[in-house]
Structure 1
Amino acid sequence: MRLRLLLSFLSCSLAMHAQFAPEAALLTVEAMQSDFSYLRGKLETTHPGMYKRRTREQMSSILDSVFNSIRTPLTRRDFYKKIAFTVSETRCEHSYSNPGDGYESMVKKWQMLPFQLFFPEGNPFVVVNGTTDQSIEPGDEVLSINGKTTDSIRQAIYPYLPADGFIRSAKDHYLSSLNFNVAYNQFIEEATTYSVVIRKKDGRVIEREFTNGLDFGSINKNALANPVNRPVLEASRRGDRLRKQPFRLDFEKNHPVAIMTVRTFSADKKTFRKKIDGFFAEISKKQPSDLVIDLSYNGGGEEELAAWLMSYLVDTPTRFMKREYLIDITDSTLAMTNIPAEIQRNKYAYIDSMKDGISTAKISELAMELKVMERQINGYRGRVWIYANGGTASAASTFCAVAKSNGRAVIVGEETAGSFSGGGTVIGLDLTLPHSGIRTHTSMVYQEFATSGQDPTRGVQPDIIYRPVYAELIGQNREWIELILSERAKKIPGR
């Protein structure tokens, strides 16, 4: 489990939900309607996934509803909720809103819930206690906050968080950090006191109220000093050591099983290929009957590298990606995006002219995932297992989707964060709304994966469900491995 100290979550919160400057002035109805219409127009003409999860009529109804709700002057904070909701409704994990400048200084002064939580299927539980109170320990369930059940709070925050399709695991993964505390402040209430109802691990229910030490600095200081957090801090240090090795290959001592860990596909391409080539050369020598690929918490990266890894698992020429395309390639629009400069300078070397409303990407050094995957010399032909969860996103999720679609792996864990059928990319349109200063990043490129056989609006569904409990999060990260070994034993003839 990737346990981290609270301090590391500040930058994550800033990346996804930067906050506006603290201004008391209200935005006029006309200004907000103008900003919203500007954003809507760009979404409808540039976002190729706009109508992938809902019909055009359904999306129009949603957007009309938001526009019609702008009837009175609002603070930037309240208007931001409408923009965050609108962008979230694109159902694209690579589209998000960023309300503007001034956030870093503000968030450090916010009065925040002084606990880091982990969100499983049921009630969230405490991972880090950021107070001096030692009666609340990591692993205790949080039943309510300021009179609201934690599930109702989670459901109220969900609509503002970006995710592919109708995937919930990605949102729970995102909230399992200080991001929940920030989102509570942004979308629920600006609290100065927190009353929490806790169910202890022994079943006792206690209630505590916190009014002091709620700024970020105090929470972080208390978290490091409170002795109840010692097991978590030790687990975090173990995780830090493992994170220094994003690519690993291990062999089980008592089973003919190889375990390959791939924490990211965002890496130097030559280095990645060399590492993976070496792994499979070693696997070819030892000939394990089973290969486990750990893609948990792999946030993605280059689809090309995910395709390279997949090429070691296929027997025949296989497609990884059907196609990639844009719906607006005008120079003025491309100038507002983060598309690589070489594409903007010579776009038709990389994409086709518009035809039937789309411009399709060509196979190039920037889109090698479009090539047909050929069988590798040291390719693996044995049984494959993939461990994935709500942190398995983007290219890592695509890998899971292609593996499952081709019947090449058993997926263990949770639903992935990326869609089974296709989705947007990090290449997108960067806007600053003229009147409010709110910023948005919305995907410009849509990828259709070479997959079939599952709900296209959901992530890759696990064949075997595994959701860690607190004791497993701070353990040796072996429980999911033991589960796979147990399932593997059932498939061995004579067992």
Structure 2
Amino acid sequence: MLELKIKGGVFGMIMLVLSSLNPVIAQSNIEALSPMQLQEDLDHLVAGIERYNPTMYIYNSEILFKENIISIKNSIKKPIDAIEWFKLLCLAVEKVEEGHLTIGTEKDAFYRGFLKGNFKSLPLGVQFLEDRAYVWNNLSREDFLERGDEILSINGRSMGEIRKLIFQYTNSDGYIKTFKQKRLSKELSARYFWFIEQPSQFVIKYRKRYSESTKVVQLEALTRTEMSEWSIKRALKKEVAKGINAVYNLVVEKETATLTLRSFNEKIIKQNELKSYEFYERIFKRLRKNGVKHLILDLRGNRGGMKEFVDDLLAFTLKKKCKGVLRELIAWDGTTVISDFPKRNKWFFKGDIYILTDGETYSTAALIAQYLSDYGNATIIGEETGSRYEGFAAGNFHYLTLPNSKIQIGIPNKWVKNTLPKPFREPNRGLLPDYPVVPSIEDLLEKRDPVRMKALELIQTK
């Protein structure tokens, strides 16, 4: 992923898979391309995704996808700039309904403008809760807006309308909105710039916390560097977990333990020299020796990574011995790798498991929640996970370069096909929680955790 960070706060998490092994592609002047050349690129995009994405038309509609492509091609009647082209590519990719698919690299104008400080955008960090948005970080020159103030509209558009418009350009697995919601909260400044408008001023209609009256303030669009300066002035630095804490945290309190798994990112795992099986064995041996009967497994914000951290965890968390096929990994060329249930470890956990999830419980982290729900009788608390329950495209990427615009498309070329032991509740959705709990803005401001509190409540009633 490419993270556009500002000192003291995160400007946006742009979902962009980068690799130092990818060849450097000569950048094209998008505005110099004819409508026919851009339409040719769309044809190339479709052909590439159809070839290399093994889930194509399994979970999404071929008719709707191709109708969408025709509509996009027909809309290109004159040369367009790089941002408009990026917008159209996002609109096309959204109908693929796969969250891992990526568009572009840091060399492309629509990303480079932010990195180089050429783009000026909305100087606010927000928290979206459904279609309501609240100020989180004020990165503007004005001091009127404070954390917790509700933003009612931007330049005359309600926040619900803005959310709906941006969702049309945000790809995710199937119909999962929680994943899009998390991206919107982290990326509103960039996504408003790409998909709504690029104004020099923003008229913000808002409501102060604990007030019913509305106010209006005008904010100047700022560069990434300018926002960084205001973040430092207002001391908005966010604490970021480092070292082993970037991977996990374990707290044991009498008979209840909370294991927070933050990331399975390969780079972070290797930096901490962790081996998944030995890592879990140390943890679950400790839980057994400490007499822990209740395990709260916190997977919120874990975007996944190495699959070994899924399969090896099952050896310690499935009370019943399971045999047979857990899932298939089917490559774009039909090559199939079958994963069976792992052998149960002697230190397996014998107590109750409660899993905390949100829209950023994604990819391999979402698989953990799903498998422990399906086979380990775990209780799921929180929000719908960010990856499709039935299966999704992930694994390695095939990098397709569009011939005229030279935009690089990252296509996940393996199908994670889950064995489904029971009928799923809704197709094209993530794992749905047994106990839906969504923090309110007051919870966030007061640093309360109602999701974990629900788990503790259930434990107390045992």
CA contact (8 A) 1:197 1:205 kept: yes
CA contact (8 A) 1:313 1:408 kept: no
1:419 partnered with 2:388: yes
CA distance 1:34–1:412, change in 2 (3 Å):
same
Match of 2:430 in 1: 459
1:250 partnered with 2:251: yes
Decide which moves more: 124-133 or 414-423.
124-133
Q: 2:219 & 2:327 partners in 1: Cα distance?
A: 54
CA distance 1:209–1:243, change in 2 (3 Å):
farther
Report the 3-state secondary structure (helix = DSSP H, G, I; strand = E; otherwise coil) of the residue aligned with 1:85. Answer: helix
Q: 1:453 & 1:66 partners in 2: Cα distance?
A: 36
CA contact (8 A) 1:247 1:263 kept: yes
Alignment of 1:77-476 (within 5 A): 77-98=83-104, 100-102=107-109, 106-107=113-114, 108-177=117-186, 179-203=187-211, 204-211=213-220, 214-226=222-234, 233=237, 236-237=238-239, 239-240=240-241, 244-252=245-253, 256-266=255-265, 267-268=269-270, 271-314=275-318, 315-318=320-323, 321-328=326-333, 358-361=334-337, 370-406=339-375, 408-451=377-420, 452-454=422-424, 455-476=426-447
CA contact (8 A) 1:425 1:446 kept: yes
CA contact (8 A) 1:284 1:380 kept: yes
Could you give the per-residue CA deviations for residues 90-116 of structure 1, whole angstroms, max 9, x where no partner exists? 111111211753456521222211110
> Unpaired segments of 5 or more residues in structure 1?
329-357, 364-369
Residue 296 of structure 1: how far off its partner (Å): 0.7
Decide which moves more: 372-381 or 75-84.
75-84
Q: Which amino acid aligns with 1:39?
A: L
Residue 418 of structure 1: how far off its partner (Å): 0.7
CA distance 1:252–1:482, change in 2 (3 Å):
farther
Residue 12 of structure 1: how far off its partner (Å): 3.0
> Unpaired segments of 5 or more residues in structure 2?
19-25
Decide which moves more: 449-458 or 391-400.
449-458
TM-score (norm 1): 0.82
Residue 39 of structure 1: how far off its partner (Å): 1.1
Q: Which amino acid aligns with 2:332?
A: I
Q: 1:246 & 1:194 partners in 2: Cα distance?
A: 39
Match of 2:457 in 1: 486
Q: Which amino acid aligns with 1:316?
A: K
Residue 16 of structure 1: how far off its partner (Å): 6.5
Q: 2:242 & 2:76 partners in 1: Cα distance?
A: 50
Decide which moves more: 8-17 or 69-78.
8-17
CA contact (8 A) 1:98 1:438 kept: yes
Match of 2:64 in 1: 58
Q: Which amino acid aligns with 2:360?
A: G
Identity across matched positions, percent = 22
Residue 432 of structure 1: how far off its partner (Å): 1.6
Report the 3-state secondary structure (helix = DSSP H, G, I; strand = E; otherwise coil) of the residue aligned with 1:195. Answer: strand
CA distance 1:462–1:301, change in 2 (3 Å):
same
Residue 46 of structure 1: how far off its partner (Å): 2.1
TM-score (norm 2): 0.88
CA distance 1:21–1:41, change in 2 (3 Å):
closer
Q: Which amino acid aligns with 1:468?
A: P
CA distance 1:84–1:106, change in 2 (3 Å):
same
What RMSD over aligned residues (CA atoms) do the two structures have, in Å?
2.6
Could you give the per-residue CA deviations for residues 346-397 of structure 1, whole angstroms, max 9, x where no partner exists? xxxxxxxxxxxx3213x6xxxxxx1322221111121110011111110000
CA distance 1:320–1:5, change in 2 (3 Å):
farther
CA contact (8 A) 1:167 1:459 kept: yes
Report the 3-state secondary structure (helix = DSSP H, G, I; strand = E; otherwise coil) of the residue aligned with 2:66. Answer: helix
More strand by share: 2
Could you give the per-residue CA deviations for residues 159-215 of structure 1, whole angstroms, max 9, x where no partner exists? 2112111111111111222x2111111111111101101111112311100126x12
Could you give the per-residue CA deviations for residues 23-54 of structure 1, whole angstroms, max 9, x where no partner exists? 58343121011111111111122211111222
Decide which moves more: 244-253 or 459-468.
244-253
CA contact (8 A) 2:83 2:110 kept: no
Match of 2:21 in 1: none
Q: Which amino acid aligns with 2:70?
A: D
Q: Which amino acid aligns with 1:405?
A: D
Report the 3-state secondary structure (helix = DSSP H, G, I; strand = E; otherwise coil) of the residue aligned with 2:249. Answer: strand
Match of 2:22 in 1: none
Decide which moves more: 386-395 or 467-476.
467-476
Report the 3-state secondary structure (helix = DSSP H, G, I; strand = E; otherwise coil) of the residue aligned with 1:425. Answer: strand
CA contact (8 A) 2:28 2:406 kept: no
CA contact (8 A) 1:85 1:159 kept: yes
Q: 1:245 & 1:477 partners in 2: Cα distance?
A: 21
Residue 474 of structure 1: how far off its partner (Å): 4.8
Could you give the per-residue CA deviations for residues 221-253 of structure 1, whole angstroms, max 9, x where no partner exists? 112213xxx5x64xx33x546983522221125
Number of aligned positions between the proteins: 439
Residue 21 of structure 1: how far off its partner (Å): 7.5
CA contact (8 A) 1:196 1:208 kept: yes
Q: Which amino acid aligns with 1:211?
A: E
Q: 2:51 & 2:28 partners in 1: Cα distance?
A: 33
Q: 1:374 & 1:112 partners in 2: Cα distance?
A: 52
CA contact (8 A) 1:298 1:393 kept: yes
Match of 2:23 in 1: none
CA distance 1:252–1:399, change in 2 (3 Å):
same
Q: 2:145 & 2:446 partners in 1: Cα distance?
A: 20
Residue 11 of structure 1: how far off its partner (Å): 7.2
CA distance 1:22–1:103, change in 2 (3 Å):
farther
Q: 1:397 & 1:382 partners in 2: Cα distance?
A: 21
Decide which moves more: 452-461 or 168-177.
452-461
CA distance 1:187–1:126, change in 2 (3 Å):
same
Report the 3-state secondary structure (helix = DSSP H, G, I; strand = E; otherwise coil) of the residue aligned with 2:366. Answer: helix
